[in-house]
A and B are shown apart, each in its own frame.
Chain A
Amino acid sequence: MASTTQVKPMEAALSNDEILRYSRHLIMPEVGMEGQQKLKAARVLCVGAGGLGSPLALYLGAAGVGTLGIVDFDVVDYTNLQRQIIHTTADVGRKKLDSAAEKLKAINPFLNIRKFETRLSSDNALELFRDFDIIADGTDNFPTRYLVNDACVLTGKPNVYGSIFRFEGQASVFATKDGPCYRCLYSEPPPPGLVPSCAEGGVLGILPGLVGVIQATEVIKLILGKGEPLIGRLLLIDALGMRFRELKLRKNPDCPACGTHRTVTKLIDYNEFCGIRGEEKPMEAGVPEIQVEELKRRLDAGENLFVLDVREPHEYQICHLSGHLIPLGDLPKRVHELDSSREIVAHCRSGIRSAKAVTFLQQAGFKKVHNLAGGILAWADRVDPKMAKY
């Protein structure tokens, strides 16, 4: 296939230091001097410097991709370090952008790193994408996935896609000239709340490594114009079974973004498109709540409160309030274990699942149920600082 970047050999000429650095590329016929100059001339934008963005940027930087843009607005925290290998313990509290740029420069001082400290939005995406040849999507939510896709289709830039959940990943290359786009695969997003995020569902730390490196491989192949890119193919990665499967993807003639009769002619409000309005707290609204301080006071006073823990058994092992454990998903079939005449306080990790439990119990006829606001995390913050947080 044709290369996506136009090399201007004079500009991309390699110094002797660079020739030594890239020697293992230069002696391969698939890369060689011409390929390495293509890499140097290439401009790749990584959207997100998190789980997927870490290995992606590290390998692209090491391989000699000349201009690496990174879009991120987040700060490194402790829960990131299990998988976001571009950041270290000493970086906690720093901007991911600064932390990532520092590591990339340390690996390869020849890189031109462009930092964009912003949330990718319908207002800035087209302008940001314009200065790059390839976009690598390392984001973590549906609105941004659709935004990246549509902006890639509108600007004619390939979208090197990867996404992950627990032990499972997907990868593909969307929005090339004749290939399908993300909307050909999924024309609409799931309603909010139906598909759990990594923050809710967890993710094996290694998985973004596997998938991010697949994305990096595809980026390099697109730049070199070598091999068979993942265009028109969806790669499914199952780390638990260690199985890779491939599904056929077709360009959908009725696709609203890239089909024959396009309706997506400019970027839209992607939060609205994904059914997210304002603050994302649809379930908890209107559920009776109790604060952690009040629960502590009433338990200490020996009041007859029933604490219901709706988390999973493996979460109970991390920390607990000695509550009765019924995971949210099991509640309908185990509701008989609860006494509706007693006052019940339901809790989970942060208060979202337990709000659903309270709503369910109210519908089942329970009158005296409260949601512990902020969940066991709030308890750890405000009542028992020795408790483990996760």
Chain B
Amino acid sequence: MTKINIPTPLRQYADKQPTVEVKAGTVAEALSGLVSRHPDLRRHLYTDEGKLRSFVNVYLNDEDVRYLQKEATVIKDSDTISIVPSIAGGW
């Protein structure tokens, strides 16, 4: 199972869980498995056209998937996917 780290702002759409485990062969399959289990996450991760939103970055271990094979990147069970959205708080 591949572990997906859910960031704090999105946990409310994933039954408040910090991590979700999915069985998948690629990053795209893993994310699709995630949103099929937690449908409320979909609009926060994808645009209406089904593209990953530009303020949500997806990392495979410590590498941005944009610099790998994007969502087609092949994953192993031991991998960790992190969803890293932009946050702006400071005051």
Report which A residues bind B (CB closer than 8 A).
48, 50-53, 74, 80, 84, 137-142, 145, 162-168, 170, 185-190, 194-198, 201, 203, 208, 234, 236, 241, 245-250, 329
Contacts and interface: CB of A to CB of B under 8 A. Distances in A.
Interface in B69-86: 82, 84-86
B11 to A, nearest CB: 9
Contact of B90 (A51, A80, A188, A246): A51
Contacts of A190: 53, 55, 85-86
B62 interface: yes
A195 B88 contact: yes
A249 B90 contact: no
Interface in B28-84: 44, 53-55, 57, 59, 62-64, 67, 82, 84
Contacts, number: 101
Contact of A208 (B9, B82, B90): B90
B87 A185 contact: no
Contacts of B55: 186, 188-190, 195
Nearest to A143: B88
A141 B62 CA distance: 26
B17 interface: no
A211 to B, nearest CB: 8
Given A168-B8, A190-B53, A141 B64 contact: no
B88 A247 contact: no
Given A201-B9, A247-B82, A248-B64, A170 B87 contact: yes
Contact of B86 (A48, A137, A189): A189
A236 B8 CA distance: 12
A139 B9 contact: no
Query: Which 5 pairs from chain A and chain B are nearest by CB?
Result: A50-B91, A198-B89, A140-B91, A165-B87, A140-B90
B43 to A, nearest CB: 8
